[in-house]
Amino acid sequence: MSAADESAFRGFAVTRRPSLRRTAFLLCGDWHQADDLVQTALVKLYVAWPRIHSSEAPDGYAHRTLVRCFLDERRRPWRRESPVEAVDDFGTAVRPTEDLLDLREALAQLPRRQRATLLMRFWLDASVAQTADALGCSEGTVKSQTARAMTTLRALLGDQALVTKE
């Protein structure tokens, strides 16, 4: 990579890292894991940077990569079911259903793809088509995943707890 490209990458990483990190946290619920996710995504972005930098908006690419890294994370053999002393924030055991859970705990109860879909749509403001492209699924799947996720959240948080601006 040329010095100019690398300088541009560094500039992008410095300025956009906070946004990527917050998205990563919302996906995984743990700041340490979020930092790992961002690091993995930025390394992938570095590899593709000369192409991405000149052909499309790197911010969208970086966020798509981040979401894919999150979805791929548990597929790695060394990530599977290792014993730990304490579960992470999103791993908190399910509370009795009569209690209304806060959003963080409610998000933890969503399947990973539903959580990713929800964040793409309502945190990153991605369109259905953009979300489908990022997650590698059909637009119909995005709509159904979004609906299921919102139904689950409303059941956990109460009907009046959430609205979307759609």
Residue 26 binding other proteins, by CB under 8 A: yes
162 scored as a contact of other proteins (CB under 8 A)? yes
Under the criterion CB under 8 A, does residue 31 sit at the interface with other proteins? Answer: yes
> Are the C-beta atoms of 70 and 27 separated by less than 8 Å?
yes
CB 118 within 8 A of CB 106: no
- Nearest approach in angstroms of CB 22 to other proteins is 5
User: Could you give the CA distance from residue 144 to residue 35 in angstroms, rounded to a whole number?
Assistant: 30
> What is the chain's alpha carbon radius of gyration, rounded to the nearest angstrom?
17
Spatial contact of 27 and 110, defined as CB atoms under 8 Å apart? no
**64: which residues sit within 8 A by CB, 6+ positions away?**
133, 134
Contact positions with other proteins (CB under 8 A) in 76-135: 76, 78, 103-104, 118-119, 122-123
Cβ atoms within 10 Å, residue 117: 29
Stretch that binds other proteins, among 35-43, 55-63, 64-72, 131-139 (CB under 8 A): 35-43
CB-CB contact of 90 with 119 (8 Å) = no
Q: How far is the CB of 74 from other proteins (least distance, A)?
A: 15
Of 8, 16, 22, 71, the residue at the interface with other proteins (CB under 8 A) is 22
Give me the least distance between CB of 129 and other proteins, in Å please: 20
Which residues would be at the binding site for other proteins (CB under 8 A)? 1-3, 6, 9-10, 13-14, 17-18, 21-22, 25-26, 31, 35, 39, 42-47, 49, 76, 78, 103-104, 118-119, 122-123, 153, 160-165
